[in-house]
Amino acid sequence: MRRVLLYSPRFVRAAKRLLKKQPAARDALRDALAHLEADAFDPRLRTHKLKGELAGSWAASAGYDLRVVFDFVQQPGGEAILLLAVGTHDEVY
Protein backbone atom coordinates (compact mmCIF):
# COMPACT_ATOMS: atom_id res chain seq x y z
CA MET A 1 0.00 0.00 0.00
CA ARG A 2 1.57 3.27 -1.14
CA ARG A 3 1.61 6.01 1.48
CA VAL A 4 2.72 9.63 1.33
CA LEU A 5 5.88 10.50 3.29
CA LEU A 6 5.69 13.56 5.54
CA TYR A 7 9.00 14.99 6.77
CA SER A 8 9.08 16.43 10.29
CA PRO A 9 11.54 19.29 10.95
CA ARG A 10 13.41 17.00 13.37
CA PHE A 11 13.82 14.37 10.64
CA VAL A 12 15.10 16.93 8.13
CA ARG A 13 17.70 18.27 10.60
CA ALA A 14 18.82 14.75 11.52
CA ALA A 15 19.09 13.72 7.85
CA LYS A 16 21.21 16.78 7.01
CA ARG A 17 23.48 16.08 9.98
CA LEU A 18 23.75 12.39 9.06
CA LEU A 19 24.56 13.05 5.40
CA LYS A 20 27.17 15.64 6.34
CA LYS A 21 28.93 13.08 8.58
CA GLN A 22 28.32 10.07 6.32
CA PRO A 23 27.83 11.08 2.67
CA ALA A 24 27.91 7.41 1.66
CA ALA A 25 24.62 6.88 3.53
CA ARG A 26 22.71 8.96 0.96
CA ASP A 27 21.89 6.03 -1.34
CA ALA A 28 20.90 3.72 1.53
CA LEU A 29 18.58 6.37 2.97
CA ARG A 30 17.07 7.17 -0.43
CA ASP A 31 16.41 3.47 -1.10
CA ALA A 32 14.91 2.91 2.35
CA LEU A 33 12.55 5.87 1.96
CA ALA A 34 11.45 4.63 -1.47
CA HIS A 35 10.72 1.17 -0.03
CA LEU A 36 8.95 2.74 2.96
CA GLU A 37 6.71 4.80 0.68
CA ALA A 38 5.87 1.79 -1.50
CA ASP A 39 5.38 -0.74 1.32
CA ALA A 40 6.20 0.06 4.94
CA PHE A 41 6.40 -3.65 5.73
CA ASP A 42 8.80 -4.63 2.94
CA PRO A 43 11.01 -7.37 4.47
CA ARG A 44 14.17 -5.47 3.46
CA LEU A 45 13.22 -2.71 5.92
CA ARG A 46 12.79 -5.02 8.92
CA THR A 47 9.99 -2.73 10.15
CA HIS A 48 9.12 -3.15 13.81
CA LYS A 49 7.05 -1.47 16.49
CA LEU A 50 8.96 0.34 19.23
CA LYS A 51 8.61 0.07 22.99
CA GLY A 52 9.52 2.25 25.95
CA GLU A 53 9.77 6.00 25.40
CA LEU A 54 9.05 5.56 21.69
CA ALA A 55 6.05 3.27 22.20
CA GLY A 56 3.53 3.72 19.40
CA SER A 57 6.18 4.61 16.84
CA TRP A 58 7.79 2.31 14.30
CA ALA A 59 11.35 1.85 13.03
CA ALA A 60 12.76 0.62 9.75
CA SER A 61 16.30 -0.33 8.87
CA ALA A 62 18.05 1.71 6.20
CA GLY A 63 21.31 -0.18 6.46
CA TYR A 64 23.48 -2.03 8.94
CA ASP A 65 23.33 0.65 11.65
CA LEU A 66 20.96 3.20 10.14
CA ARG A 67 17.37 3.49 11.38
CA VAL A 68 14.35 5.57 10.37
CA VAL A 69 11.73 6.22 13.08
CA PHE A 70 8.21 7.03 11.92
CA ASP A 71 4.51 7.08 12.80
CA PHE A 72 1.47 6.20 10.75
CA VAL A 73 -0.84 9.25 10.64
CA GLN A 74 -4.24 9.94 9.12
CA GLN A 75 -4.66 12.75 6.66
CA PRO A 76 -7.30 13.64 4.10
CA GLY A 77 -7.06 11.05 1.37
CA GLY A 78 -5.72 8.23 3.51
CA GLU A 79 -2.90 7.15 5.73
CA ALA A 80 0.55 8.77 5.57
CA ILE A 81 3.94 8.15 7.16
CA LEU A 82 5.34 10.90 9.36
CA LEU A 83 9.13 10.58 9.44
CA LEU A 84 10.38 11.47 12.93
CA ALA A 85 14.10 10.68 13.13
CA VAL A 86 17.00 9.11 11.28
CA GLY A 87 20.39 8.06 12.53
CA THR A 88 22.38 5.21 13.97
CA HIS A 89 20.77 2.74 16.32
CA ASP A 90 22.16 4.55 19.38
CA GLU A 91 21.16 8.01 18.11
CA VAL A 92 17.48 7.30 17.48
CA TYR A 93 16.72 4.94 20.37
The pLDDT tens digits of the residues spanning 60-89 come to: 999 889 999 999 999 988 899 999 999 998
What is the gyration radius of the CA atoms in the chain, in angstroms?
A: 12
| 22 confidence band (pLDDT: 50, 70, 90) | very high
Contacts of 55 (CB under 8 A, 6+ apart): none
What are residue 16's phi and psi, to 5 degrees?
Answer: -60, -45
Confidence check: pLDDT of 16 > 80 = yes
**Domains of the chain in sequence order:** 4-92 (3.30.2310.20)
User: Which among 71, 74, 66 has a CA at the least distance from the CA of 90?
Assistant: 66
